[in-house]
């Protein structure tokens, strides 16, 4: 578990410092006597071999994670997998990749130019997972990519890091429902992602989720600093399966809307 904790500490520090500074406040609002348990985190990338889903998964596999589910998002042109660790306290990991070949040649060429800049050695250290961008980017390219795919723009601008952490509501004493957590957050000035409704999923699909809209964060481009959507915080409530174990997968229709937490 030590290696798991070390990796997640790196991901958490990068997430609260660079991608989602408001997460520290949400974390404090929800923390009770016991430390908060994270249901999962999520990472994003492009499906080019050098930096594809498998490259991001490798450091997790090396510390005991196993692939446990596959997901397709046709309209957004994304593919994702989730990974679980034998220790149930270790957060699940959701990794998605953009199907670059299904986009315009303009987008494809721009993304290939970014990925070509990645020094191969940089990917050998697991710390690349929270190292941010491994390429230079100008604001016009970011704009062009975002216009075609908000996801493409996000990955191009921020590079590698957890785009969200997810509080497990099951473990909280004060709250049992996702809507109760949403209410507390709204009361404290946070904006909830309402795409597909404030609660995604249902007891029938064994998973209910909600999320904040991403913080706006300053990002340095080659031609100046711009404020753009960064990371967000998610909340998940899982229901037991007939065998009594909590459902541990994800729900495509819900995930599709969670992605939109980083939309402009």
Interface residue list for ligand OOG (CB under 6 A): 42, 44, 94, 96, 163, 209, 234, 250, 254-255, 258-259
Residue 163 C-beta: closest distance to ligand OOG, Å = 5
Give 119 or 197: the residue with its C-beta nearer to ligand OOG: 197
CA 198 to the chain's CA centroid = 18
Residue 132 CB, shortest distance to ligand OOG, in Å, is 16
Q: Which residue is nearest to ligand OOG (CB)?
A: 255
| Range in contact with Ni ion (rule: CB under 5 A) among 96-104, 118-126, 133-141, 227-235 | 227-235
**35 burial class (0-12, 13-18, 19+ CB within 10 angstroms)?**
exposed
Write the secondary structure of 5-35 as one string of H (helix), E (strand) and C (coil): HHHHHHHHHHHHHHHCCCHHHHHHHHCCCCC
Which tokens in the block code for residue 76?
């957004």
Nearest position to Ni ion, beta carbon? 234
Instruction: Supply the minimum distance, in Å, between the C-beta of residue 191 and ligand OOG.
Output: 16
Least distance between Ni ion and beta carbon 42 (Å): 5
Q: Which two tokens stand for residue 130?
A: 């929270």
CB 249 within 8 A of CB 241: no
Of 81, 84, 215, 234, which lies in the binding site for Ni ion, with binding defined by CB under 5 A?
A: 234
Strand 38-46 vs strand 92-98: parallel, antiparallel, or unpaired? parallel
Stretch that binds Ni ion, among 110-118, 146-154, 213-221, 231-239 (CB under 5 A): 231-239
Asked if 208 interacts with Ni ion (CB under 5 A), we say no
What DSSP element (H or E) covers 237?
A: strand 232-238
């Amino acid at each position: 578990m030590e290696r798991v904790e070390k990796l997640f500490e790196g991901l958490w520090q990068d997430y609260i410092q660079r991608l989602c500074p408001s997460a520290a406040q949400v974390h404090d609002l929800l923390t009770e006597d016991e430390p908060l348990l994270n249901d999962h985190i999520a990472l994003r990338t492009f499906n080019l071999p050098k930096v594809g889903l498998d490259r991001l998964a490798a450091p997790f596999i090396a510390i005991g994670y196993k692939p446990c589910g596959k997901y397709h998002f046709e309209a957004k042109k994304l593919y994702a997998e989730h990974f679980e660790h034998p220790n149930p306290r270790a957060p699940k990991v959701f990794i998605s990749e953009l199907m670059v070949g299904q986009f315009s040649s303009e987008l494809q060429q721009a993304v290939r130019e970014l990925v070509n800049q990645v020094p191969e050695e940089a990917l050998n250290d697991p710390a690349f997972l929270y190292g941010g961008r491994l390429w230079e980017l100008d604001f016009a390219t970011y704009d062009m990519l975002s216009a075609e795919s908000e996801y493409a723009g996000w990955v191009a601008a921020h590079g590698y890091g957890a785009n969200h952490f997810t509080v497990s509501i099951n473990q909280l004493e004060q709250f049992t429902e996702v809507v109760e957590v949403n209410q507390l957050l709204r009361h404290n000035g946070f904006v909830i992602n309402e795409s597909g409704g404030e609660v995604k999923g249902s007891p029938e699909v064994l998973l209910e989720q909600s999320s904040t809209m991403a913080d706006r964060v300053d990002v340095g481009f080659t031609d100046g600093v711009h404020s753009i959507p960064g990371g967000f915080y998610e909340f998940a409530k899982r229901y037991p399966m007939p065998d009594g174990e909590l459902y541990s997968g994800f729900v495509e229709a819900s995930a599709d809307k969670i992605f939109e937490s980083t939309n402009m």
